[in-house]
Amino acid sequence: MQTYEVKKLPYHPKLDITVPGSKSMTNRALLLAALAEGTSTVSGILFSDDSNVFLQALRDVGFSLKIDNTRKSVTIEGKGGRLPRSQGNIYVGSAGTAARFLTAMAAMAEGEYRIDASAQMKKRPMAELLKALEDLGAQIQYLCDEGTFPVRVSGMGYRQSKAKVEINIDKSSQFLSALLMTAPSHFDELEIRLTGTRSALSYVKMTEQMMKQFGHEGVIRESDNCYRVMAGGGYQARDYMVEPDVSAACYFYAIAAITGGECHIRNMRRDSLQGDMKFLNVLEQMGCRLFWKEDGLTLKGPEPGELKGIEIDMSDFSDQTLTLAAIAPYAAEPVHIKNVGHIRGQECDRLHAISENLGRMKIPYEEYEDGIKIYPGIPQPAEIETYQDHRVAMAFAVTGVRADGIVISNPLCCRKTFENYFEVLDSLTQENAGKRS
């Protein structure tokens, strides 16, 4: 499928959706299970390009895995922080979490590993993490350009009592999560000091909670810029259920927001660890209403044309920048998104992707270095350039459910996180056929 023409939905659709498991939680759970002592089963797995890359990398360094696609589960025989093989090749593809987490795991281990990535991932930030790992004692040999893949990592190879390291996470909080999760297997105590300005740490809080769920005593946060990780008893094997992916759910809630519809997502949790839950608060401020039910969460959008504009700092849930930008033309007032400059270094320059595609649809906007302001307008027929970025494809498909002639190029890039996303969209159109547009 080279392109996908988005089909319009009528006003007031009724959407009832089950979304895949969380990508962020899937890859954290796989890493923690591998670092634990004993056999864990992780259920609710999101099987996607990213998680498949992660699973293959675990196999390539010797972990024994039992994968059940039907039950969406993976059983892993953890080695208590050790890698079964002392040599290996690790390929992380375009998966940012795999790149950061597996590089840190290899650097903490005893052995030598060659790590490579896709051309897209080679453009994304890695240098800050690689430098921190070198400062802690790993040897990093750059096989091409300094600060990126491919690299040859010689692990630290012995347990250290205490250590300190500084790292800048302005470009990615995954750098900090990688250090926090892998530290207990190698250090009795590791102090991590943050040197940048970014204070958006919702994904780091998720990491801390999942470490506890795998039996670790927890991270000591001495200040906003200082973390201390104690080895404690390490991680213990367990059965673990991954939450539904809130990031995926947000696309369907956004559809309800611009159509005056109702969207119910099954199995959503009030106590979710995922930072993108904050996007639901944004939709509330824009005029939507939320209703918790026994089996999930329902969002009801305002009448079409009554969605409110907003000025919002999205630094702590920036994956939803594209989603908000995609529905912004339908707001009654401008939408101003701030403090998301770091998304220029993700799968693509996402601020540039927003601007370019708004321009194709003749929607007025003002782009800034760290944000964008989008004005109300009627999207004109256009082909959306996805830049090989799954979130660009999924977000601007939301724009298309209320506009004529929106076509998504290269829709299969969604396989990174949500393989059947466009099939789900088609099913919504069929289910709501016959209603007034």
Reported as a single tens digit per residue, the pLDDT across 98-110 is 999 999 999 999 9
**Has residue 282 got a pLDDT over 80?**
yes
Distance CA 59, CA 76 (A): 10
According to the model, what pLDDT value does residue 200 have?
Answer: 66
The model's pTM is 0.85
Q: Where are the alpha helices (DSSP H) in 162-261?
A: 174-182, 202-213, 246-259
- C-alpha closest to that of 210 among 5, 35, 436: 35
Give the residue-averaged pLDDT of 147-163: 90
| pLDDT confidence band for 417 (50 / 70 / 90) | confident
Domain extents in the chain: 3-20+243-431, 23-229
Mean pLDDT of the chain: 94
On whether the 23-229 domain is CATH 3.60.110.10, my answer is no
Return the higher-pLDDT residue of 7 and 223. 7
Return the higher-pLDDT residue of 311 and 416. 311
Show the tokens assigned to 274: 């995922």
According to the model, what pLDDT value does residue 381 have?
Answer: 98
Show the tokens assigned to 393: 């494809």
**Has residue 3 got a pLDDT over 90?**
yes
According to the model, what pLDDT value does residue 434 have?
Answer: 65
| pLDDT confidence band for 330 (50 / 70 / 90) | very high
Distance CA 290, CA 392 (A): 26
According to the model, what pLDDT value does residue 362 have?
Answer: 98
Q: Using one digit for the tens of pLDDT, what is the confidence trace for 359-398?
A: 999 999 999 999 999 999 999 999 999 999 999 999 999 9
H-helix or E-strand spanning residue 337: strand 335-338
Q: Please say whether the beta carbons of 174 and 128 come within 8 A.
A: no
Q: Please state, for a pLDDT cut of 70, what percent of the chain lies above it.
A: 99
**Has residue 306 got a pLDDT over 80?**
yes
According to the model, what pLDDT value does residue 218 have?
Answer: 87
| pLDDT confidence band for 155 (50 / 70 / 90) | very high
In 122-268, at which residue ranges do the beta strands (DSSP E only) sit?
139-142, 151-154, 160-167, 187-194, 219-223, 226-230, 239-241, 262-266
Question: Radius of gyration over alpha carbons of the chain, in Å?
Answer: 22
According to the model, what pLDDT value does residue 437 have?
Answer: 54
User: How many of the other CB atoms lie within 10 Å of CB of 401?
Assistant: 23
According to the model, what pLDDT value does residue 435 have?
Answer: 66
Residues contacting 410, CB < 8 A, separation 6+: 2, 3, 386, 388, 393
Distance CA 12, CA 258 (A): 9
**Has residue 224 got a pLDDT over 70?**
yes
Could you list the active site residues? 319
For 368, phi then psi, to 5°, come to: -120, 170
According to the model, what pLDDT value does residue 419 have?
Answer: 86
Instruction: Pick the most confident of 1-5, 257-261, 428-432.
Output: 257-261
**Has residue 219 got a pLDDT over 70?**
yes
Give the residue-averaged pLDDT of 214-227: 92
Same fold, 3-20+243-431 and 23-229: yes
Longest dimension (CA), the chain: 68
| pLDDT confidence band for 85 (50 / 70 / 90) | very high
According to the model, what pLDDT value does residue 121 have?
Answer: 94
Side chain identity, residue 198: R
- C-alpha closest to that of 178 among 108, 90, 85: 108
**Has residue 197 got a pLDDT over 90?**
no
According to the model, what pLDDT value does residue 56 have?
Answer: 97
| pLDDT confidence band for 274 (50 / 70 / 90) | very high
Minimum mean pLDDT range among 29-43, 175-189, 421-435: 421-435
Start-to-end C-alpha separation, the chain: 27
- Written out in words, the top-level CATH class of the domain with range 3-20+243-431 is alpha beta
